[in-house]
Amino acid sequence: MAEYKLHCFAQSGNCYRAALMLNLVGADWEPVFVDFFKGGEARTPKYRSEVNEMGEAPVLAFGGRKLSQSGVILTHLANKFGKFRPQGEDEELENLRWLLFDNQKVNGFLGPYRFVKTLSGNPDPGALNFLKPRIENVLKIVNQRLEGRQFLLGGRPTVADISMCGYMYYPPEEFGFDIAKEHPAIGAWLERIKALPGWEHPYKLMPGYPLVR
């Protein structure tokens, strides 16, 4: 039996962050499929009472514990395995700054945009028009940050990088634009993360692809 079980599904960038981190640190883990779309599993009373009261994925289960929220999961794994950890107070605060910026704005906008456009079955133009300029703004900020840097905090990857890339490996056609081509510094950074031992594409790493409704 694997040490870790990750409740996840292939279309979720939030789940991908956790799955990718598990692979990168060399954890003994296995995925547990969450039927988010067809069965609405995460919204059921059973899931909320037995897996996550917030009705969300990912959830990392181990040793009788369950952790939710991808930033919490990434931090736990970084601390346990001693990999991708920020070093010292200044770097810890900088890591947290980019982690929050990512969750609130970068993937906080990319995730809903892709969901509405491609996964919802109802690509509401109003929602897309609201999110698109905000996405362009935050991606410019990230691209500028990565110009002249290997990773977000400097010369080595940290939790912030694993979080930030969560939605960026999904196919460009699911967004209607190509993040890597339109933002070259981000594109080069994504290639550096892709070169890390243990990297896998989200659709290969987690169950539920192709999507069945």
Please state whether the predicted TM-score (pTM) of the whole model is above 0.85: yes
The range of the structural domain enclosing residue 57 comes to 4-83+199-205
Question: Each residue of 80-115: pLDDT tens digit?
Answer: 999 999 999 999 999 999 999 999 999 999 999 999
C-alpha–C-alpha distance, residues 123 and 173, integer Å: 14
Reported as a pLDDT band with limits 50, 70 and 90, residue 51 is very high
- Shared domain check, 13 and 110: no
Q: Contact, 193 vs 161, CB < 8 A?
A: yes
Segment 108-163, tens digit of pLDDT: 999 999 999 999 999 999 999 999 999 999 999 999 999 999 999 999 999 999 99
The residues pairing with 171 across neighbouring beta strands, listed in sequence order, are none
Q: Is the confidence at residue 60, as pLDDT, over 90?
A: yes
Mean pLDDT of the chain: 97
Instruction: With respect to residue 119, please indicate whether it lies within any of the assigned structural domains.
Output: yes
In the chain the first and final C-alpha atoms are separated, in Å, by 30
Q: Do both 141 and 67 map to the same domain? A: no
Over residues 29-46, the pLDDT tens digits come to: 999 999 999 889 999 999
Per-residue CA distances from 2 to 30, 91, 116, 201 (Å): 6, 32, 35, 21
- In a domain, residue 190? The reply is yes
CB 157 within 8 A of CB 196: yes
Q: In the numeric block, which tokens belong to residue 56?
A: 């969300």
The pLDDT-based confidence of 212 (bands split at 50, 70, 90) is confident
Q: Do 58 and 102 reside in the same domain of the chain?
A: no
pLDDT over 90 at 63, yes or no: yes
- Shared domain for 63 and 92, answered yes or no, is no
